């Protein structure tokens, strides 16, 4: 499908076509820039990208979701929405000496933008992987993830962690990736067949670049300065409870980091042992911590999480950067369709992602 679309739009065959999935994080939110562990997994939906190098410095990007082509020269800048990610990826590859020229790029995506499912990380990783392949460079997938994060941090200006890029570059379907965001060591854990992780979009769209993500990062920076560490997740609750020198809401933000990290470690063990009731309880606790301590939820998301539980999910929580986007719920595989129909009937605007 990606190749055909490329040929229709550019009148030639692409040199490379590849698929990069979106990701859903099962647990471990906003701790990938605070020294914590996270547990994302690859989605079945994602982006198929086709690319062909050009003889000039132009980068032209088309998508099946948008009319027309977005184009800019590598000696200029591109500041139009989603296509910037692809442009900056080519520019970075040129700076690294992987390629010398621009590229034509076509994107066919089943991933909705602004859903908190890493469509931008998937686009960056896809372009960098495609450029690695055409230039025969030997970068491994972890290096690809690090380069994609650099684009978010330095070019787009979102101070995100490495979770999304690692998940979409490395995770395989049917597994969760238990990732140490400091060392980048990871351990794949098979997903159970007894239960499904269902991802529902709340209908509330948001962008990481809208500033609220950055505001939380800044509050964590205040705590890092206070404690003289980058690693908030490895502080103890005694460090924060009753610490009068730490202002609110920073104290609650740190409490979330500490407890969320511990929940994620416990959740990984529960998943490995297939103790899904325990896993579900940890998801529920995670949602409360995101709602009350990290304050990254919104009422529409809280209602959807609650409906998911009322209808029988064993665990449900907001997933991703927050302030809208998706929830992930763990439901018994048997009866999952009925469960989903009941939740969606009771939740106008919500829809299923996976």
Is 76 annotated in the active site? Answer: no
Q: What angle do CA 159, 160, 161 make, to 5 degrees?
A: 130
Work out the burial of residue 12: count CB atoms within 10 Å of its CB; fewer than 13 is exposed, 13-18 middle, 19 or more buried: exposed
Q: Which is nearer to ligand GLA, 5 or 213 (CB)?
A: 213
Least distance (Å) between residue 324 CB and ligand GLA: 12
**Site string (206-225) toward ligand GLA, x via CB under 6 A:** --x-----------------
Residues forming beta bridges with residue 187, ordered by sequence position: 178
Least distance (Å) between residue 208 CB and ligand GLA: 6
94 binds ligand GLA (CB under 6 A): no
Q: Which stretch binds ligand GLA (CB under 6 A): 42-50, 55-63, 157-165, 248-256?
A: 157-165
Q: Which stretch binds ligand GLA (CB under 6 A): 71-79, 100-108, 158-166, 190-198?
A: 158-166
- The Cα 26–Cα 9 span in angstroms is 37
Work out the burial of residue 284: count CB atoms within 10 Å of its CB; fewer than 13 is exposed, 13-18 middle, 19 or more buried: middle
Binding residue for ligand GLA, selected from 29, 219, 239, 307, defined by CB under 6 A: 29
Total number of residues binding ligand GLA (CB under 6 A)? 12
Q: Which is nearer to ligand GLA, 109 or 120 (CB)?
A: 120
DSSP code string of 260-313: HHHHHHHHHHHHHTT-HHHHHHHHHHHHHHHHHTS----HHHHHHHHHHHHTT-
151 binds ligand GLA (CB under 6 A): no
Binding residue for ligand GLA, selected from 320, 324, 328, 339, defined by CB under 6 A: 320
Q: What's CA 69's distance to the chain center, in Å? A: 26
DSSP code string of 101-167: S-EEEEEEE-S-TTSSS-HHHHHHHHHHHHHHHHHT----HHHHHHHHHHIIIIII-----SHHHHH
321 binds ligand GLA (CB under 6 A): yes
Binding residue for ligand GLA, selected from 160, 254, 265, 314, defined by CB under 6 A: 160
Least distance (Å) between residue 320 CB and ligand GLA: 5
155 binds ligand GLA (CB under 6 A): no
232, 210 contact by CB (below 8 A):
no
147, 166 contact by CB (below 8 A):
no
203-221: string of b/e by CB count within 10 Å (b at 16+)? ebebbbeeebbeebbebbb
Q: Which is nearer to ligand GLA, 2 or 116 (CB)?
A: 116
Active-site position among 32, 164, 239, 293: 164
Element (H or E) spanning 53, and its range?
Answer: strand 40-53
**Site string (277-316) toward ligand GLA, x via CB under 6 A:** ----------------------------------------
353 binds ligand GLA (CB under 6 A): no
164 binds ligand GLA (CB under 6 A): yes
Least distance (Å) between residue 176 CB and ligand GLA: 14
Least distance (Å) between residue 95 CB and ligand GLA: 23
- The Cα 4–Cα 9 span in angstroms is 9
260 binds ligand GLA (CB under 6 A): no
Residue positions annotated with a catalytic role: 164
Would you tell me which residues interact with ligand GLA (CB under 6 A)? 25, 29-30, 32-33, 160-161, 163-164, 208, 320-321
């Amino acid at each position: 499908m990606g190749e055909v679309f490329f040929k229709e739009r550019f009148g030639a065959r692409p040199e490379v076509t590849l698929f990069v999935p979106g990701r859903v994080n099962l647990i471990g939110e906003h701790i990938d820039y605070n020294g914590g562990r996270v547990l994302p997994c690859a989605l079945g939906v994602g982006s198929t990208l086709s690319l062909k190098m050009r003889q000039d410095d132009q980068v032209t990007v088309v998508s099946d979701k948008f009319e027309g082509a977005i184009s800019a020269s590598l000696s200029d800048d591109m500041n139009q929405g989603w296509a910037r990610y692809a442009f900056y990826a080519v520019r970075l590859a040129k700076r690294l000496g992987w390629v010398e020229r621009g590229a034509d790029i076509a994107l066919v995506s089943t991933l909705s933008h602004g859903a908190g499912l890493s469509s931008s990380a998937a686009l960056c990783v896809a372009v960098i992987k495609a450029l690695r392949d055409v230039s025969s460079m030997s970068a491994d997938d972890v290096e690809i993830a690090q380069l994609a994060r650099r684009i978010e941090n330095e070019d787009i200006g979102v101070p995100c962690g490495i979770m999304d890029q690692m998940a979409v570059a490395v995770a395989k379907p049917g597994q969760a990736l238990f990732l140490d965001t400091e060392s980048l060591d990871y351990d794949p854990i098979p997903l159970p067949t007894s239960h499904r992780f269902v991802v529902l979009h709340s209908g509330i769209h948001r962008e990481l670049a809208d500033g609220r993500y950055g505001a939380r990062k800044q509050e964590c920076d205040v705590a890092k300065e206070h404690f003289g560490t980058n690693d908030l997740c490895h502080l103890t609750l005694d460090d924060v409870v009753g610490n009068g020198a730490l202002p609110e809401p920073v104290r609650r933000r740190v409490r979330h980091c500490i407890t969320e990290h511990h929940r994620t470690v416990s959740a990984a063990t529960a998943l490995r042992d297939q103790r899904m009731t325990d896993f579900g309880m940890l998801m529920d606790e995670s949602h409360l911590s995101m709602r009350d301590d990290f304050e990254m939820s919104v009422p529409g998301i809280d209602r959807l999480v609650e409906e998911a539980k009322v209808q029988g999910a064993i665990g449900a929580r907001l997933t991703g950067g927050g302030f809208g986007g998706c929830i992930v719920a763990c439901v018994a595989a048997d009866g999952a369709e009925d469960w989903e129909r009941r939740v969606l009937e009771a939740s106008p605007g919500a829809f299923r992602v996976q």
